[in-house]
Amino acid sequence: MTAMIMVSPLTIRTETAADVAARECLLDRCFGEARFLKTCERLREGRLPAEGLALTAADAEGRLVGTLRLWHATVNASHRALLLGPLAVAPELRGAGLGAALMREGLARAEALGHAAVLLVGNAPYYARFGFSTVLTETLSLPGPYERERFLALELVPGALAGASGLVIGTGALLPASYLPAAVAQAA
């Protein structure tokens, strides 16, 4: 697996704790507060992303300019998959291939780590170039509102989602209590 790839003069690497604040600022810029209302957020909240699958893109000065994470999920407790997102690139750098580089690195890492399938909710015309489509999600559902034409899947291992049917839920490791707001941690 490649530890780091260059999209000159940008670098794609594993996210660190020092990236978190800048990543959240970028996501606020790209999606606004509405991002917390998305159904996919219900599968991610309170959980850690899959090991090795939180990516940061940084510019030559070290500023965070792109982010992509993938999360553990299961379909009806019978088929494991990753949930991809959010993917975001700083507005001033869009259209130069950074989004595609993050996608390719994330999918290559996922495959190298032995993951077999990836789900996401996003714009089909963008994600089709990476092989995502609605074909494999016709029998799947998410725990909340979503647009079916935006619910997409890709098999990294052919047949990985064969027979998959039912509700997708998040299964990743829970965030340590130290990550949670004090009130939530006390109630837990």
Tell me whether residue 6 is exposed, middle or buried, using C-beta atoms within 10 angstroms of its C-beta: 0 to 12, 13 to 18, 19 or more.
Answer: exposed
Alpha-carbon span 72 to 127, nearest angstrom:
19
Q: Are 59 and 9 in contact (CB under 8 A)?
A: yes
Alpha-carbon span 105 to 110, nearest angstrom:
8
Tell me which residues in 23-52 interact with ligand COA (CB under 6 A): 30
Q: Shortest gap between Cβ of 5 and ligand COA (angstroms)?
A: 14
Report if residue 170 touches ligand COA, rule: CB under 6 A. Answer: no
Instruction: Give the CB-nearest residue to ligand COA.
Output: 99
Report if residue 89 touches ligand COA, rule: CB under 6 A. Answer: yes
**Segment near ligand COA (CB under 6 A); pick from 36-44, 89-97, 139-147, 172-180:** 89-97
Closer to ligand COA by Cβ: residue 104 or 180: 104
What DSSP element (H or E) covers 22? helix 20-31
DSSP annotation string for 55-103: EEEE-TT--EEEEEEEEEEEETTTEEEEEEEEEEE-GGGTTSSHHHHHH
Report if residue 87 touches ligand COA, rule: CB under 6 A. Answer: yes
> For ligand COA, what does the binding mask look like between residues 123 and 142, x meaning CB under 6 A?
x-xx----------------
Report if residue 98 touches ligand COA, rule: CB under 6 A. Answer: yes
Among 94, 108, 113, 134, binds ligand COA (CB under 6 A): 94
Binding site for ligand COA (CB under 6 A): 30, 87-89, 94-100, 122-123, 125-126
